[in-house]
Chains A and B, each alone.
Chain A
Amino acid sequence: AAGVIQSPRHLIKEKRETATLKCYPIPRHDTVYWYQQGPGQDPQFLISFYEKMQSDKGSIPDRFSAQQFSDYHSELNMSSLELGDSALYFCASTLGTSVGNEQFFGPGTRLTVL
C-alpha cells in the first residue's frame, strides 16, 4: 500500500538559508500534519491542513510557513534557518478529521543546519 512520501529525505543547509520540505499524503487522504522532532525529543506539532485550509497551528516559528495544494500535497517553507532548526521533520496524513483516524507518518526529512 502507498505510504506518505516526504522529500528530500536529507537536507543540509547553512544558517540564514531557506529550505522547502515536501509531503505527499497517502492517496485520498485530505489532512496533513507537520511535526518537528529534535534529537532525543518527542515530536512536536507544528501545523496542520484539512482540505487545503489551515486547520490547526502549534509551535511553528514565524519564520516557517506551510500550505496544502489542490492535489493535497503540502510544503513546509523555512526561512532564516537557525542551528536549532536541525531536526527530523515528519509529515503525517489522515482521511478527514474523524475521531479514531490514525495518523500515518512519513519517513521524515532530516534537516541539518550548519
Chain B
Amino acid sequence: GQNIDQPTEMTATEGAIVQINCTYQTSGFNGLFWYQQHAGEAPTFLSYNVLDGLEEKGRFSSFLSRSKGYSYLLLKELQMKDSASYLCAVRESAGNKLTFGGGTRVLVKP
C-alpha cells in the first residue's frame, strides 16, 4: 500500500512564495505528480518527477528525493488565482493508477 502525507492547509500573501511538502512511503515508485484542483473542478497537471532533482516550469517548481521519500512543490510570485488545492500523487510500479495524498488547500491573501 501507499501512504502519502501533505499539509492540510497553507496561507500565503500575494506575490510571496509557498512550498508544499509531500512525503510518501510506498513499496514501489514509478513517478510523482503534482496536480492543481479548484473546488468542484478537475485536477490539472502541474509537474512530474521520476528522477531526483528539481523540475522548473515557470512559476512552479517541483523537487524529488527518492531516498527520502520526499517531494515539494514551490509556487513563486503567488497570484490570487493560485488559491486552490494542490494534490501530490504517486504512481505505483505496477499499473499506472495514481494514489493521491489528501491535498493541500492554499489560500492566497491580498
Chain A positions within 8 Å of B, measured between CB atoms, are: 31, 33, 41-45, 48, 50, 55-56, 58, 88, 90, 94, 97, 99-108, 110
Contact = CB atoms under 8 A, between A and B. Distances in A.
Interface of B: 30-31, 33, 35, 40-45, 48, 50, 87, 91, 94-103
Contacts of A97: 95-96
Contacts of A42: 87, 100-103
23 contacts: A31-B96, A33-B97, A42-B87, A43-B43, A43-B98, A43-B100, A45-B98, A48-B95, A56-B95, A56-B96, A88-B40, A97-B96, A99-B50, A102-B45, A102-B48, A103-B33, A103-B45, A104-B45, A105-B42, A105-B43, A105-B44, A108-B41, A110-B40
A42 B4 CA distance: 11
Contact of B97 (A41, A48, A90, A100): A48
Nearest to A42: B100
Majority SS at the chain B contact face: loop
B48 A100 contact: yes
Given A55-B96, A56-B95, A108-B41, A102 B33 contact: yes
B43 A90 contact: yes
Contacts of B97: 33, 45, 48, 56, 58
A18 to B, nearest CB: 24
With most chain A CB atoms within 10 A of its CB, the pick from B30, B33, B43, B96 is B96
A107 B52 CA distance: 32
A43 B43 CA distance: 9
B42 A100 contact: no
B96 to A, nearest CB: 5
B29 to A, nearest CB: 11
Contacts of B102: 41-42
B99 A45 contact: yes
B96 A101 contact: yes
